[in-house]
């Protein structure tokens, strides 16, 4: 019998307690809801659960500019009026507001993705999950689209220390522009994004003609889709493209961003995927048996986000979940039927068969260009691509955590148990 995959799952209850503001669509509370579904289905018993370390400013500055990281560290809602120029420069404002505990929020979700990448690198797991991560719009020197720190870029940089080639796949309804931009000029990372494109839809990038430049030419793949794409059209195209990408590129590790705003009924999305259709993509990527880092991303109808990521946790554990949701702290959000399945809606699919076919043809042409490109050898980690290790001496000695201590940061009882062991209910504080 084949050995079961070892799954590491990263979660910190504090990540769900931040509040972007009353009318903001991003609700980190969806992460608590997801986690409690994972608990109620007993999935935590099949995984190793870790509380991630809070990423140090030095770690965040492996991609982001030091001045931007420092500003995020310093700014608070009470002091933001003193920094109007900086707020403009770093694109903080309506979409990316300054809120209480903003920097700690970034440290937690980025720390989860970094820890996930390191566990994969050290072969202590086969699949690592961080639903709090996946904030794919953040740029080197600015926030964008509800994203402040690009944990995906940081995680990929970490994986590149051990792997010659990393494949990034993005099924969020929005283009994964921050990740594509970070690796646009290198063949060390191939980015593949399936997203809505056109009609001034955010972020406005991700045309099929954008394929990368210089050494990165043909290593950025964009699948621009129109409103109403359904399960059959999406999954057929996904499987065809990803199968060819993996066969051609031979990645040593895969990062899969599972933004749930591509589901039907999303508050900001315009696709028509069911949870089964979305999860089918996760199932397909898992079958390659390549070290896999899975993150969340967008998703603005929070009860459906929680349903989706719980189902996909089950998929990664080869566990099918009963449709009836077990009782849990957030059960009222799943009324009136208290079930997992979310069906498609009755909407027009503007993606004709000929349109999807033309996309497939263009992508296959790009991939053929890689196969026949002179001098592009699939060599092992090239010596000229150097990513500096963190200098432990520069870290605040009070904040330093050795690997042994990090490894011991497994579950805190009040976050991972229910019933008699669940401290959440004792004072009603959480």
Q: Which residues are annotated as a binding site?
A: 95, 145, 172, 174, 261, 300
Residues 6+ apart with CB under 8 A from 312: 258, 278, 279, 282, 294
Whole-angstrom distance, CA of residue 91 vs CA of residue 127: 34
Binding residues for substrate: 95, 145, 300
Contact between residue 258 and residue 309 where contact means Cβ atoms under 8 Å apart: yes
C-alpha span between 51 and 83 (Å, rounded):
34
Q: At what angle do helices 302-316 and 29-40 cross, to 10 degrees?
A: 40
Report whether 239 contacts 286 (CB < 8 A).
no
**Residue 5 — φ and ψ, nearest 5°?**
-65, 145
Cα-Cα-Cα-Cα dihedral of 259, 280, 344, 357, to 10°?
A: 90
Which residue shows structure tokens 């592009």? 376
CB 221 within 8 A of CB 341: no
Q: Please name the residue that has the structure tokens 């700690």.
A: 104
Instruction: Find residue 292's DSSP bridge partners.
Output: 127, 254
Determine the longest span between alpha carbons in the chain, in angstroms.
66
Q: Binding site residues for a divalent metal cation, as ranges? A: 172, 174, 261
Q: What is the DSSP string of 252-282?
A: SEEEEE--GGGBTT-SS---BB-HHHHHHHH
What residues are annotated to the active site?
A: 137
Question: Does residue 38 contact residue 16 with C-beta atoms inside 8 Å?
Answer: no
Q: CA 297, CA 111: separation in Å to the nearest integer?
A: 15
317's enclosing H/E stretch is none
Please confirm whether the linkage preceding 137 is cis (ω < 30° from 0).
no
Q: What's the rounded Cα separation, in Å, for the pair 391 and 90?
A: 27
């Amino acid at each position: 019998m084949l050995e079961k995959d070892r799954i590491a799952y990263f979660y910190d209850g504090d990540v769900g307690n931040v509040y972007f503001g009353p009318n903001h669509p991003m609700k980190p509370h969806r992460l608590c809801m997801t986690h409690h579904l994972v608990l109620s289905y007993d999935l935590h018993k099949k995984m190793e659960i870790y509380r991630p370390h809070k990423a140090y400013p030095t770690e965040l500055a492996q991609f982001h500019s030091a001045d931007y990281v420092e500003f995020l560290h310093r700014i608070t809602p009470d002091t933001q009026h003193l920094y109007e120029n900086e707020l403009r420069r770093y694109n903080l404002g309506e979409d990316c507001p300054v809120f209480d505990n903003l920097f700690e929020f970034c440290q937690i979700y980025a720390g989860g993705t970094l820890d996930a990448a390191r566990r994969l690198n050290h072969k202590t797991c086969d699949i690592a999950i961080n639903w709090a991560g996946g904030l794919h719009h953040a740029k080197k020197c600015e926030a964008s689209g509800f994203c402040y720190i690009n944990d995906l870029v940081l995680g990929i940089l970490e994986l590149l220390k051990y792997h010659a080639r990393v494949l990034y796949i993005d099924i969020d309804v929005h283009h994964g522009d921050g990740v594509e931009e970070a690796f646009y000029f290198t063949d060390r990372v191939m980015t593949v994004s399936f997203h809505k494109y056109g009609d001034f839809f955010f972020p406005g990038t991700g045309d099929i003609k954008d394929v990368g430049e210089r050494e990165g030419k043909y290593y950025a793949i964009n699948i621009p889709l129109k409103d109403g794409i359904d399960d059959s059209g999406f999954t057929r195209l996904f499987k065809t493209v990803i199968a060819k990408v993996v066969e051609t590129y031979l990645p040593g590790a895969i990062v899969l961003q599972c933004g749930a705003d591509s589901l039907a009924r999303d508050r900001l999305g315009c696709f028509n995927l069911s949870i089964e259709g979305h999860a089918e993509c996760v199932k397909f990527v898992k079958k390659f048996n390549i070290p896999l880092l899975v993150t969340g991303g967008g998703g603005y109808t929070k009860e459906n986000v929680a349903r989706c990521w719980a189902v996909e946790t089950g998929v990664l554990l080869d566990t099918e979940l009963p449709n009836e949701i077990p009782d849990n702290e957030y059960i009222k959000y799943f009324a009136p039927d208290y079930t997992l399945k979310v069906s498609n809606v009755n909407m027009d699919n503007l993606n004709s068969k000929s349109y999807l076919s033309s996309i497939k043809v263009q992508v296959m042409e790009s991939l053929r260009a890689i196969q026949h490109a002179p001098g592009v050898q699939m060599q092992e980690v090239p010596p000229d691509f150097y990513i500096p290790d963190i200098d432990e001496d520069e870290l605040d000695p009070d904040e330093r955590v050795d690997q042994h201590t990090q490894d011991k940061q497994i579950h805190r009882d009040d976050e991972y148990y229910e019933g008699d062991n669940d401290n959440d209910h004792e004072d009603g504080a959480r």
